[in-house]
Amino acid sequence: MADRLVCRECHRVQDSSITEEDACQACGSTSLTEDWAGYVIIAHPEQSEIASEMEVTEPGQYALKVR
C-alpha cells in the first residue's frame, strides 16, 4: 500500500493506476506524494468523528499523515 500516491491537499489515497503527473481524482490537485503514513476508510462521513476532524465530506480511503 505504501507505493500508492496520496493527495497532499485532501489526503485521499489514489487508485494504483495514478502517477505523480496525474491529478487527484477527488479535488483535482496535482500535488501527489508517496510519503504518507496511516490509513483510514471512511464509509459514512456525516456520521464519523474522524471524518469531521479531517474535514472529509466524501466516502473513501484517506491517509492520516501526509508529508
Element (H, E) at 50: helix 49-54
- Known binding residues for Zn(2+): 7, 10, 24, 27
Rounded Cα gap, residues 24 and 4, in angstroms: 12
Residue whose entry in the numeric block shows the C-alpha cell 489515497: 13
- In this structure, the chain runs to a length of 67
- Known binding residues: 7, 10, 24, 27
